[in-house]
């Protein structure tokens, strides 16, 4: 058996390729950003061909760096930004439009019409999701409504749909058109019980079934396909793991038991709670999703609290407001003040996701006085990440009835130790960061490695999870309660901003 498993992590802002060894340790990696395209207010696009190019580049450079060839790699897994929709021409492989990214709000009107026609309940019961611009289904519909002749071509079988996982697998394997239940569960088109495309939901959205990929297990011993010889690996390697990024992080954090949860701090923030083989519908604004499906074992489900703007708000401070030069500066700047000076930033830039699901909301900075300075605003930005997480955690505790006592964290922004302490203070709970912070890639590697017997079973993976650091809450109850009450009030100021 070769010594490594490779994971492609195609994220919202960048693509990574990481080689892992049997202990789940990183052997080599590379990462490249891709362009964020903002054609209009509220619209966010990526170029699918650029994502493919970046993928090839990071694979080639990682193999060169580690002096590893395809023969040393047992399997390849993929994890990806979810919900981002791509349609392409089956014959030429050319995308028909830029990828419409999960953060994009252009499908507002489509979602509103579905709501007015009282389809909300069907989608919620069947797919576990609220009607929101977030998911892929309305994005596909938008392309059919706005690109002349596309529907006819799709009906003739000339067009394929995929989220980024499907697009990359199709390119890597020379044409295998597949996805897994975790990605499919974010399209608004999959039935959570049958784990297949749902004819009624397809009909409501007017989406022809022939454009959709085959749904295969997240870890597939039958392999989705082999990497093609003329691709970036230059040889045939089984491609046999596929998990949406947040589910991959849950697997990478080894949250395999009912009641285990993790929170990932990347572009957005995403908390997932393993609910086992049970499909739990939230009463508190969370969504129901597939957590993973390993081989022939039954699917495991999760409750998810999705927050659209977390690390992306830090990028906005850097790129749009130019208040900072690097994300890492936020730590020192925020530490220089005792609090946020009474101001709150609510980054409802794509509306509000969990637990509110308000597409009419837009961002606010409130509580401003002459006292408030740059450091307060930077601190309020970090606090916004922690307060949004607190709201999701409260919803999760209310839904599950069993309060979480500690929070496992990961993602790019968890390098910020001040943010982690702030999170423990705002939650009043312990926060734990594992040694391998690249849990998303690790989860994809686990899915692929399990499929080829590189690892034996889920339980054996737990030994690879080691604590790096923990943070205990230091704040007192009164300060915590007052701060949270202020946050809740600030959130109400974002509502009803965009005309419905």
Please give the residue ranges that form the binding site for ligand ADP (CB under 6 A): 11-14, 266-267, 311-312, 314-315, 327-328, 330-331, 411-413, 415-416, 419
* DSSP string covering 32-91: EE---B-SSTT--EE-HHHHHHHHHHHHHHHHHHHT--GGGEEEEEEEE-SS-BEEEETT
Question: Could you tell me the smallest distance in angstroms from the CB atom of residue 16 to ligand ADP?
Answer: 8
Question: Could you tell me the smallest distance in angstroms from the CB atom of residue 33 to ligand ADP?
Answer: 9
Nearest alpha carbon to residue 96 among 259, 228, 211:
211
Q: For residues 258 and 327, which CB has a smaller minimum distance to ligand ADP in the complex? A: 327
Question: Could you tell me the smallest distance in angstroms from the CB atom of residue 441 to ligand ADP?
Answer: 10
Question: Could you tell me the smallest distance in angstroms from the CB atom of residue 80 to ligand ADP?
Answer: 10
Q: For residues 128 and 412, which CB has a smaller minimum distance to ligand ADP in the complex? A: 412
Q: How many CA atoms lie within 13 A of 193 on its CB side?
A: 6
Minimal CB distance to ligand ADP: which residue? 412
Q: For residues 291 and 307, which CB has a smaller minimum distance to ligand ADP in the complex? A: 307
* DSSP string covering 387-429: HHHHHHHHHHHHHHSS---EEEEESGGGG-HHHHHHHHHHHTS
Q: For residues 10 and 187, which CB has a smaller minimum distance to ligand ADP in the complex? A: 10
Question: Could you tell me the smallest distance in angstroms from the CB atom of residue 331 to ligand ADP?
Answer: 6
Q: For residues 13 and 284, which CB has a smaller minimum distance to ligand ADP in the complex? A: 13
| Count of helices and strands (H, E) across the chain | 16, 23
Rounded to 10 deg, the angle between the 245-252 and 439-451 helix axes is 80
Q: How far apart are CA 78 and CA 232, in angstroms?
A: 14
Question: Could you tell me the smallest distance in angstroms from the CB atom of residue 477 to ligand ADP?
Answer: 27
* DSSP string covering 306-334: EES-SHHHHHHHHHTS-S-SSTTHHHHHH
Q: For residues 315 and 475, which CB has a smaller minimum distance to ligand ADP in the complex? A: 315
Question: Could you tell me the smallest distance in angstroms from the CB atom of residue 90 to ligand ADP?
Answer: 29
| Cβ 100 vs Cβ 137: under 8 Å | no
Q: For residues 68 and 424, which CB has a smaller minimum distance to ligand ADP in the complex? A: 424
The secondary structure element, H or E, covering residue 242 is strand 238-244
């Amino acid at each position: 058996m070769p010594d490594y498993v490779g994971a492609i992590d195609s994220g919202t802002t960048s693509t990574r390729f990481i080689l892992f060894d049997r202990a789940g340790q990183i052997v080599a990696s590379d990462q490249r950003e891709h362009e964020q395209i903002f054609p209009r207010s509220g619209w966010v696009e990526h170029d699918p061909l650029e994502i493919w190019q970046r993928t090839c580049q990071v694979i080639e450079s990682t193999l060169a760096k580690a002096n590893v060839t395809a023969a040393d790699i047992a399997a390849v897994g993929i994890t990806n930004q979810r919900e981002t929709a791509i349609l392409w021409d089956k014959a030429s492989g050319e995308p028909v439009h830029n990828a419409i990214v999960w953060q994009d709000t252009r499908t507002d009107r489509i979602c509103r019409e579905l709501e007015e026609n009282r389809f909300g309940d069907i989608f919620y019961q069947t797919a576990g999701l609220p009607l929101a611009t977030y998911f892929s289904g309305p994005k596909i519909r938008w392309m059919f409504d706005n690109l002349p002749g596309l529907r006819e071509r799709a009906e003739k079988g000339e067009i394929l749909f995929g989220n980024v996982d499907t697009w990359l697998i199709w390119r890597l394997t020379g044409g295998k058109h597949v996805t897994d239940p975790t990605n499919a569960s974010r399209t608004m088109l999959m039935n959570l019980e049958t784990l297949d495309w749902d004819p009624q939901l397809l009909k409501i959205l007017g989406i022809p079934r022939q454009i959709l990929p085959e749904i295969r297990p997240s870890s597939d011993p039958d392999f989705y396909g082999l990497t093609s010889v003329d691709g970036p690996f230059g040889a045939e390697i089984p491609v046999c793991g596929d998990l949406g990024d947040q589910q991959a992080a849950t697997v990478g954090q080894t949250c395999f038991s009912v009641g285990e949860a993790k929170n990932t701090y990347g572009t957005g923030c995403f908390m997932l709670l393993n609910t086992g083989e049970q499909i739990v519908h939230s009463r508190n604004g969370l969504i129901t999703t597939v957590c993973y499906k390993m081989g022939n074992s039954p699917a495991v489900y999760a409750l998810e609290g999705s927050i659209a703007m977390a690390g992306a708000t830090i990028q906005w401070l850097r790129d749009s407001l130019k208040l900072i030069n690097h994300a890492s500066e936020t730590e020192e700047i925020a530490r220089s003040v005792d609090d946020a000076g009474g101001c709150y930033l609510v980054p409802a830039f794509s509306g509000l996701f969990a637990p509110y699901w308000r597409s009419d909301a837009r961002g606010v900075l409130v509580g401003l006085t002459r006292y408030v300075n740059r450091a307060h605003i930077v601190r309020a930005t970090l606090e916004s990440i922690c307060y949004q997480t607190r709201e999701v955690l409260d919803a999760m505790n209310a839904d599950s009835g069993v309060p979480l006592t500690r929070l496992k964290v990961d993602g790019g922004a968890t390098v910020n130790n001040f943010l982690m302490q702030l999170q423990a203070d705002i939650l009043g709970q312990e926060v734990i960061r594992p040694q391998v912070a690249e849990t998303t890639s690790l989860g994809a590697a686990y899915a692929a490695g399990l499929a080829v017997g590189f690892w034996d079973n889920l339980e054996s993976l737990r030994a690879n999870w080691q604590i790096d650091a923990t943070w205990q809450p230091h704040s007192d109850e009164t300060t915590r309660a007052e701060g949270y009450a202020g946050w809740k009030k600030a959130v109400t100021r974002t509502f009803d901003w965009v005309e419905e």
